Structure 1
Amino acid sequence: MEQQATDIIVASQAALRQASALAVQYSFSVIGALILLIIGWLAAAFLQRWAFQGLSRIRGFDATLAGFFAGAIRYVVLILVMVMVLGQFGVQTASILAALGAAGLAIGLALQGTLQNIAAGIMLLVLRPFRVGEYIETSAVSGTIIEIGLFATELKTRDGLYRLAPNSTLWNVPITNHSRFPTRRHELSVTVPKGESIAETQDMLLQIARGDSRVLLDPAPATFVDTASADSATVKLRYWAQSSNWFATTRDMTKALKLAFDERAAKVKAEETSTPTP
């Protein structure tokens, strides 16, 4: 009995010494881990602010893109800090990095469409084929840009509807930007029947164009005969206007052209009526 009691006491003392050694060892690891976490957290926040401010100083660099890259830098630093913290407790960091790589690959495959939209959003924000407030048109969508995000782009259609387009659908197709350049050209076509003067029609078209202050004088409006046949000829008026009021100008010019033709037809009819029959 005495021998058993002695063995128990000896084992207890050995376990206590081992526990004390482990406590001392892991206390330093815990303190080191806490220090790493604090320093890493502060460093990640500092690098995020530094990256955002630096990217924001670049002329034309989008704020959304700057925030995305700054946030990505912060999370990369935090992941590295967590790996270093686990290394303080004897965890094999190589296996952690391999697991993170495998998890990243699995997440990338699962979110392939989402990552496609993010990549397309980054390219749209960098290359800027359109900006907020511009009117664009593709084979699938058209409207005025409200906001360009990393995943999707918000638009407002001409009839006031809200439309959300995934960025991948805007990046992989040709885009027509109606607002990028300050001026736009427009053409009006008029059919001149046989017997009517082409020169008078051209003069009338030029007078209509010059009578609208929104029609630019440089380049100057011009008329030309586009097609001709034995029975008629097609005369076109080509003019330029500001992109901001191009649509309203084209509508008003079309209306003015119709009114001018009606007035000329009424004048011709009145002259025929007043002419005495021989």
Structure 2
Amino acid sequence: MHPTLTALADVPVLNSVDQKTQAVLVSLNALVPWVVTNGVNLLAAVLILLAGLWLSGKVGGMVATLLARTPQFDAMLRGFFSSLARYAVLTLTVLAVLAQFGIQTASLVAVIGAAGLAIGLALQGTLSSLAAGVMLLIFRPFKIGDKVQVGGVTGTVRDLSLFWTELISDDQIQIIIPNNGVWGQALRNMSIHAAPPHAGELRFRIPETSDLDGVAEAVRRLAMADQRILAIPAPTVLFDRTGDQRALDVVVGFATADDVVPAVKSDLIRALHRAGLPTGAPTD
């Protein structure tokens, strides 16, 4: 074939190659701004994420430190609010990262809100106990070791968490009460004010001719020797006369911290017998 004809035959091939090259260059020219833009967005998202992680830790620590200066805030409650602040910052960080890539966060927030509402309705009993636990930890109507009565249940407080209160009854039975059942009804705390002492009285007769001062001193000394009898108010020894003209009644008044008056009276009678003091009416 003539060389000129051969050259003319190669012209369409060269034109096709040039068109493909131009198409690639056009595609690259369009891709470079996209890569640059998204690269900048990616870098900004990474920086926002790192800053959010750092800031969430600082905010959580700051909340815990501030609450630690308030005595009525329990350690568990400080941890709860500290975690709440930390996760709030993390949530805002995630939304800011998504916004860097052009994602509409308003619709995402609406979806999260709807999901939160559904979860809240499903767990309303648990969330009610959580809210009641927060209130109990803030206001502290009782503390560990107090004896309380809640809704007809009486026991000593063993533990208080965000969701339930643990009591131990007098016969060592564990009682778990959800916090919404504790906060939502009348509560009797029997450990706030000191219980009044239990008053006791012992009466016995002695002959009218007895040494009254000696008897009073001996009885008072025996009463004070019993550790269960309170020193304040101090035991009293008084004399009284009944129908029998030959005898006097000795009236011993005492108080105990615990409800052990019958046992104290019995032991005091034994001590009087051992001391040789009569505890009955004189005989002819």
Please, what TM-score do these two structures have when normalized by structure 2? Answer: 0.70
Corresponding position of 2:262: 254
2:184 to 153, 172, 179: 172
Corresponding position of 1:76: 88
* Distance apart, 1:64 and its partner CA: 1.3
Matched, 1:152 2:161: no
Residues paired across the two proteins, number: 235
**Residues in 1 aligned to 2:267 and 2:233: alpha-carbon distance in whole angstroms:** 25
**Residues in 1 aligned to 2:49 and 2:196: alpha-carbon distance in whole angstroms:** 62
Q: Which is greater in Rg?
A: 2
**Residues in 1 aligned to 2:223 and 2:59: alpha-carbon distance in whole angstroms:** 59
State the secondary structure of the residue aligned to 1:106.
helix
State the secondary structure of the residue aligned to 2:70.
coil
**Residues in 1 aligned to 2:16 and 2:114: alpha-carbon distance in whole angstroms:** 53
Alignment RMSD:
3.4
1:40-79 equivalent positions in 2, closer than 5 A? 40-79=52-91
Please, what TM-score do these two structures have when normalized by structure 1? Answer: 0.71
CA distances 1:35-65 after superposition (whole Å, capped 9, x unpaired): 1111110100011111101110112321111
Amino acid at match of 1:55: L
Amino acid at match of 2:149: E
Decide whether the 8 Å contact of 1:186 with 1:238 is kept in 2: no
**Residues in 2 aligned to 1:176 and 1:141: alpha-carbon distance in whole angstroms:** 10
State the secondary structure of the residue aligned to 1:87.
helix
State the secondary structure of the residue aligned to 1:142.
strand
- Which blocks of at least 5 consecutive residues in structure 2 are unaligned? 1-11, 204-215, 237-252
State the secondary structure of the residue aligned to 2:192.
coil
* Distance apart, 1:174 and its partner CA: 1.4
1:110-259 equivalent positions in 2, closer than 5 A? 110-181=122-193, 183-187=194-198, 241=257, 249-251=258-260, 253-258=261-266
* Distance apart, 1:267 and its partner CA: 4.3
State the secondary structure of the residue aligned to 1:250.
coil
* Compared CA separation, residues 134 and 209, structure 1 to 2 (3 A): farther
Decide whether the 8 Å contact of 2:72 with 2:139 is kept in 1: no
Decide whether the 8 Å contact of 1:138 with 1:176 is kept in 2: yes
* Distance apart, 1:67 and its partner CA: 1.1
